[in-house]
Structure formats: structure tokens, C-alpha cells
Structure 1
């Protein structure tokens, strides 16, 4: 299908539909499974120790797959990877729809979640690649509005995911939480086929494509898999997994510093301190966010004796405030003040937790959640904008994928923290320990933000945005945007 050329000087808003749909596939499946674990366990006779792999499988697949798929997007362009991702999402939905209801089927569902995780890996890196390509084509150094749309979309889906899952299970049973991916995957394929360009101008010409660094990918996958499994099951019996991670990580560094076209360019990454700090902020943000979302929720039900419904309602202000803050300030491209306010707000939220107890009034809980919503909106938005400016344009997709890897590492670190702090019971004493953990992490976040001088120039047009934007955006080369 032939489409009209994109408007000169303006972002091609026809790209928003596939970009937003692709970007929400991962968060919606991360959120929707939370309410499906118990029904699946009952239907298949699977204990919690087995159903938990439905969550872990997606985390592992995406933490490893996002940088890999992002690198492929950088080399081959968005279209073919986006279409392949949508097809895998549809396949995963079909597997969950047709497998028999027996105990052994739980591992088929785990396999489906792995396929689903790999399929959803294309969405976010492809979106960041397209935004960067459109920024280069239009000459807009900071497409803050488009980046805000992407951030708000993923945050909104995270809010409605559990509710949507509950409605689907109530109407059609637990299989619906898998089957919903069938139309979503098909829609991704159709929209991607019609609207995404074959080339964007960021990927190298066909005769200059670098070779795929297979050994680097293997070392990275082994490192991440061993590390994530160890973090999820910290014990003396799993120390060998940590050893595997360290050995594979050392091999990864050794190899990537020697290969001509590395999977992760450690020379460039090592020389880009601001980008490394951005990855660190992503990890810290996820650790704080998931500590609250899961650890605080457990205490609301056990320590504060609220029903699951009431606990869910108490958490709603976090997401509502986060979306509101992102919408209110997303048009401003500057990031430093967003990160400073966000870090102070999450520090304040950690301090407020220290004053909670079994009889704390609901209004105090709600106020704390509203305070937490400020960094939920500002930090995620600012980190995404910062990455956009700091990453090398030709590696924007793989850099975005690596950002998500650090985010998932933070989520797993959070589960380790509140799991070990609480033990068998989510007590008020344990909650206060979590509060101090949040205070400490927030202090580190604030410190590395204050010391990061590169943040001052990002979004300030007079100073030329960031180091990676110091050069003027080049117009797209002629013939670089054919559309099918």
C-alpha cells in the first residue's frame, strides 16, 4: 500500500499507532498476569512455586532479548523486527488458548510466556528508533511531546492491566489473559506492515551492515540468565549461578573489547559516563517503584489489614499522579529539574513510610501514594528523554533495549529486597526497614543526579541539547524512506 510522504518538518503522526501498540505489549502482559496466577494454579493444579515462573519467564526473556532485538533494529531497521515481534506475540496467545488443562501444561504456558517476552522485545526499541529517525528527518532535536506520549501510554497500560485481566478472567477464564495477545499481535503486524517505513536512514546501507556478534550475544545471554536466576533464588545452593554469571561476564568484556562490531560496544559505553548513570538511575527507579508496588501492597493487606480491593484503591493515586505529572510537564524537554524533584519526592515517600503503623489512617496512606506518583511520572519521563539524547543515534534501539534490561534488574532486586525483609509475614517492622531502603536508594539517586553535569544541557536549545546532539541533525538521505 502506497502512503503519502511524511509531512516535512513535522513528526509523522501516522507512526504513533504502531509505536504505542508495540510499546504497550510488554507492560500489559507484565501487569495482566498478576491476577491470573491463582486461577491458573487452581485450573492446572500447579503450586505457587511453579506459577511464579509465568512472571519470571517474561522478565528473563525481555531482560535478555530487548538489547538483542534492539541491536537487530539498529542494523536492519524497524519494520521486519516489528512484524516478527507481532507474529511471536500472536503465536504465544494461540499457545495459551489451545493447550490442554493438565498439570504438565503449566510448562507449556511458561514456554508461551518466553515466546511472548521475545515478541514484545521489539516494541520499545523500535519506537525509540523511529522517534530518533523522525527527529533527524525533521530537524527537531527534542521531540518531547512524542516521548511524553510514549511514556504516558506505557504508564496508563500498567494501571489498567490488572483491571483488564480481572475482567477477562471473569468473562472467559484465565485463558483470555493469553488469548488477548492473538488480536494484539495480529493488529501489530497489520499496522506495522502498512505504516512503518522499510528504512529510516539510521540503519547502515545493506553493503555496510556489520556482522552479528553471535559470541557476544551468547556471553551476554548466559551472564544475564545466570545473574537473574541467582537474584531470584539467593541461597548457598545457587552460588554456582553467580559464579557462572561472573565468568560469562568477564568473557563478555574480554570478547567485546576485541571484536570489530561488538554486540555491546563497551569502548563507547565505557567512555559515555552520563549514559551509564542513566542506566543506573533506571535500575534505582525500578527498585524503588517495585518495592512500593509489591512490598507496600503486601503490608497493606497483612500489616494494615486491608482487603485486596481496598489495597488496590490505595495504590491508584500513584499511577494517577504519575500520569498527571507526565502530561503536565512532558512538553518541557529539560530533564535536570524533573530528576531532582523526582528524587526528592521518592526520598520523602520513603520517610513517610517510617511513620506508618497498623492504625495509620487511610488519608495518610493516600497522601504518601500521591507523593510517590511524582517520581513515577517525572523520573521515567526524564530517563527516557535523557537516553534519547545520550545514546549514539546508530545504536539508539539497542541502547533503549539495554535501558529496559537495567529496569528489569531493578524489579528483580526489589523482589529480593522485600522478600528477604518480610520473610513469612509482611509486618510493620519489615515495612519500616523497606522505608529505610527506599530512603538510602533515593539518596544515591539524588547524589548521582546532582553530580551529573551533563544533565544541565539536555533540553536546552541554546546549548545544543546533549553531547550526542551537538552536531546538527542531518536530513534524511534521498530515497531513505520508501514505504510499503
Structure 2
């Protein structure tokens, strides 16, 4: 479960220190290399809930193995790519290939919980959260090391052995078959539960929205309009079908779950602003090479591991989110203290500070969704959490590109910090307003809304 679920976050972050080198090698400006980030985000935002739904219908094994094979293919295409746009295609394939791991893990956890009667496998959930949040912050350091050893192409080629590892362990340990949930037992091979029109409308809605978010401009006013029209059509379709891809009624009636999705979006926005913006500032304004910039980011990982390991021992969720909210505000404020002449020790200290809320909040949000989601929809609900996270990540690219413009220097970094502070304040307000968190995951009330 861990190996499959980390493929997506490691590929999300490993590219952060590679963009400059890729741009130089292929003669591409930053306005084009940013598509290497956005392409994965778009593919993942669309693919995660789709994979989750397919896992609910057909079980985790076939989807997990298919995703691993696509990941290996993407690594090969990227390693041999002759141009930037072939690299973008590789990132799209990579996005879809890495979508299966996390929903499959959450599905297996819920199935095991049902089998054993244990309502909250807190230890396993903690391991899963630690692995995912650790890998995403190790990514920049790993990327810097790979570039040092084998050039930027090695950041794509690393997916080949990772995919082979997933294929091997998946074929050995994943169950050969998994009985579909009760709702999908009608029809041949569960086909009655596969809402293809809903999936297509969902994908089209997200593509329209994301294309606008990646390049917000008044000349693109028609994209959000198209997104709204498609979203309305999706809502009508899903309300009328017996087995919808997105259970609109359940989502609309589950404010705690929607609040968790909103928190997932905001924490991803804050973390990715730092994850991509800070190394860019380190390389362009402090003159650090990619390897050193990656090492500066490494304390974020170490701190997130320690915080998650300690906090994971307690099932209570609200306290983690409140502490994480306060730490997030403090970490963003620390960025305002960074100056061009700041001592070197302050740079990893800033990474360490952002690791505290990252460890607390991601662990708490994952646990909240596990308890708040309909058990019959845990795969697609977990996938939808990743969709919201990638919407936040795309929002971070908007903020990063808006504030860290060529020549913006430390002033641009400070403007980005204010943007992160605003998102952190909203995160805190949503958490304070959600009273259901007092009982979620504690066993003292109903978990699902």
C-alpha cells in the first residue's frame, strides 16, 4: 500500500528542482516548463476519483497493476523524450498511472476494518500518511541528487524501478479478486455501476476549470463559464442515475466531509507554494545549485515524519488540526523574516517550521475522510480528497507564478508568504467552525455524516 501510494506525491515534488535544468537543456522558458507541473496535476485531479470508483467496482488488484505499468511506461517515455511536449505527455501518463495507489490503499484498509471489526486502524493510517507526506518533501532532495548523478532525465527514469517494484509486490500480495460492494453486484462484471457519462462530464468540468486556473486571464472568461455549465449538467446527470460516479446527494448532505476536502485544498496550496516557490527563490536569488536547494528543503521531511509519528498515536482529530493551523500561520509568518542577507541556518529552519503543520494537518485530514466517508464509497472519496489537494496545488502554481516573477527577488517571496498566510487563516476558520470534529475518530459518536 505504501509503495503504490507514494508514486504520486514523489513525482509531484521531484520535478520542483528539475524545471530550471530542463528549461536550459530544451530551450524552454518557465511559461512552458510549468506545464510539466500542471500536466501531472490535471491528470491526477481527474484520475484519482475515477480510479477510486473503478476500484470499488472491480477491486484494487487490476487497477493497481495497471497503474504501475503506466507509471513504468511514463518513466521510459520521459527518460527518452526528445522535446518538452513529449515530456508533458509523459507527465500526463504518469498522472493517470500513479492515481491507483492511494484509493486502493484506503479501500483495502476499509475492507480489512470491516473484516476484523476494528473501526479505526490508526496505526496503519498513520504509516500511510507519514509515507505520503514524507515522500513529497523528500522529493526535492531526491531530485537534486538524481540530477547530480545522472542529469534531469533520471528524475523520470526513477519511475521504472519503482513501477517494477509495485508490479512485483502487487502480484505477490494483493488479493487475486475482491468482491465488489453490494451496490455494484447487479449487471455483468459490475458494468451497471460504471457511470461513464458522469465520468466524462466530471473530466470535462475539471479540465475547463483547471485550464483557467493555470492561466487566469480576462481573455479566457469562457472557460469558467463552460465549467459551470458542465458542472450543472454533471449534477443533473448524477442526481438522476441510480449508481452515480459522484454521489451528489451524499456529498451535499455531508458538510463535515466537504469541510475536510476544503481543508485538503488549503493545506496543499500552502505546502506547494513553499515546496515550489522556496527552492525557486533559493536557486535564482540565493544562487544555490539544485542539490543544495534540495538539502535545504530536507528538514521539512524530517519534521513531518517526527510530528506525524508522535501525533499518530492519538485518534483525536480536532486537536491536531487546531495545532496544525496555529503552526501553519507561524511558519508562513517566518517567511516574512527572510532577507537576502539572512544567515544560512534560517533557510532550513523555515523548511523545518513548515514541516510541523504539514505533518499534523495531512494526517488529520486523511483520518477525517476515512471516518466521514460512506464506507461503500471509500475509494472514490479518498480519490476526491486527492482531487481537492491537486486543485490546491494548482492554485499554488497560480500564486507562485504571480508573485515569483523574474527579478521579483525577496519581495516576491514575501508577497507569496502573505498569500500563504491568507490561505492558512481560512484553514483555521473552517476548522473552528466545524464542531463535528470533536467526535470524529474518537469513537464517541458517529463517524459518517
The two structures share one fold, judged by TM-score above 0.5:
yes
Aligned to 2:420: 438
Distance 2:71 2:185 in 1: 28
Distance 1:314 1:41 in 2: 22
Structure 1 residue 256 corresponds to structure 2 residue 238: yes
Structure 1 residue 207 corresponds to structure 2 residue 207: no
* 8 Å contact kept, 1:303–1:426: no
5 Å matches for 1:209-228?
209=190, 210-228=192-210
* 8 Å contact kept, 2:76–2:160: yes
> Aligned match of 2:334 in 321, 342, 352?
352
Rate the CA distance shift 1:333–1:83 in 2: closer, same or farther, 3 A: same
Calculate the TM-score normalised by the size of structure 1. 0.85
* 8 Å contact kept, 1:96–1:178: yes
* 8 Å contact kept, 1:76–1:203: no
Task: List 4+ stretches of structure 1 deviating above 6 A.
Answer: none
Distance 2:22 2:276 in 1: 20
Structure 1 residue 119 corresponds to structure 2 residue 101: no
5 Å matches for 1:72-471?
72-99=54-81, 101=82, 105-200=83-178, 203-204=181-182, 206-207=185-186, 209=190, 210-301=192-283, 311-461=293-443, 463-464=444-445, 466-467=447-448
* 8 Å contact kept, 2:213–2:398: yes
* 8 Å contact kept, 1:454–1:466: no
CA RMSD of aligned residues (A): 2.3
Cα deviation for residue 43 of structure 1 reads 4.1
Aligned to 1:478: none
Aligned to 1:63: 45
* 8 Å contact kept, 1:304–1:359: no
Cα deviation for residue 256 of structure 1 reads 1.4
Cα deviation for residue 92 of structure 1 reads 1.7
Distance 1:220 1:57 in 2: 17
Rate the CA distance shift 1:39–1:310 in 2: closer, same or farther, 3 A: closer
Cα deviation for residue 287 of structure 1 reads 1.2
Distance 2:319 2:174 in 1: 35
* 8 Å contact kept, 1:291–1:415: yes
Distance 1:304 1:169 in 2: 19
Q: 1:147-205 CA distances to partner (integer Å, 9 max, x unpaired)?
A: 11111112222233233333334444433332322222222222212211134456336
Distance 1:322 1:226 in 2: 34
- Identify unmatched segments of 5+ residues in structure 2: none
Rate the CA distance shift 1:465–1:362 in 2: closer, same or farther, 3 A: farther
* 8 Å contact kept, 1:86–1:120: yes
Rate the CA distance shift 1:178–1:168 in 2: closer, same or farther, 3 A: same
Calculate the TM-score normalised by the size of structure 2. 0.92
Q: Secondary structure at the match of 1:207?
A: coil
* 8 Å contact kept, 1:78–1:198: no
Cα deviation for residue 87 of structure 1 reads 1.3
Q: 1:269-292 CA distances to partner (integer Å, 9 max, x unpaired)?
A: 000000000000001101111222
Distance 2:20 2:284 in 1: 18
Aligned to 1:30: 12
Rate the CA distance shift 1:364–1:175 in 2: closer, same or farther, 3 A: closer
* 8 Å contact kept, 1:133–1:200: no
Distance 1:182 1:79 in 2: 19
